[in-house]
Amino acid sequence: MIVESLGVRKIVIPNSALESLWRECPSECVAALSGTRIEDVYHVLEAYKLRGAYTQGTFRVDFGDWVEAVRRATSNGLEYIGLLHIHKDSQSTPSPLDLRRMMECPGEVWVILSKSGVRAWVYESELRELTVFVT
């Protein structure tokens, strides 16, 4: 079930982070996002590309890279926000597998980039869309 964003939470993402991931990734790939949170707005300041493998329609992130990304963020005084990934051949909505993973990490923001644009999602008690601002 997809619930329309209530506009209570927003995310600001630099276009450079989106463009570089799109350029570097032949198919799916993932970056960890960190930054600051001011009231109901996340400001992405860093995108840290994670190694991983795309097999049989599933992208598996290198867990060590993810831990390193979170460690870097917190040691720089930033907050871990969530993941950015690409859907080269589909829409910017979470796949069924994405949704399963999101349900395992409530509150983690998932930013999805596709040819149709960028959208951001969070799973709390249900899937909710965030308002995205690209700068």
Binding-residue total with Zn ion (CB under 5 A): 2
> What single-letter amino acid sits at 34?
S
Nearer of residues 6 and 105 to Zn ion, judged by Cβ: 105
**Backbone phi, then psi, for 120, in 5-degree steps?**
-130, 145
Q: What b/e string do you get for 32-43 counting C-beta neighbours within 10 Å, with b at 16 or more?
A: bbbbeeeeeebb
Instruction: Determine if 46 is a binding residue for Zn ion (CB under 5 A).
Output: no
> What single-letter amino acid sits at 83?
L
Q: Which of 95, 99, 114, 131 binds Zn ion (CB under 5 A)?
A: 95
The residues in 20-39 that bind Zn ion, with binding defined as CB under 5 A, are none
> What single-letter amino acid sits at 115?
K
Nearer of residues 36 and 95 to Zn ion, judged by Cβ: 95
Nearer of residues 5 and 95 to Zn ion, judged by Cβ: 95
Q: Which of 98, 109, 118, 130 binds Zn ion (CB under 5 A)?
A: 98
CA-to-CA distance for 27 and 20, rounded, in angstroms?
Answer: 13
- Please, are residues 119 and 111 in contact by the beta-carbon 8 Å criterion? yes
Say which residues have a Cβ less than 8 Å from residue 76's Cβ, sequence separation at least 6: 34, 46
Nearer of residues 44 and 84 to Zn ion, judged by Cβ: 84
Residue with the CB atom nearest Zn ion in the bound state: 98
From 39-47, 72-80, 89-97, 99-107, span contacting Zn ion (CB under 5 A)? 89-97
Residue ranges binding Zn ion (CB under 5 A): 95, 98
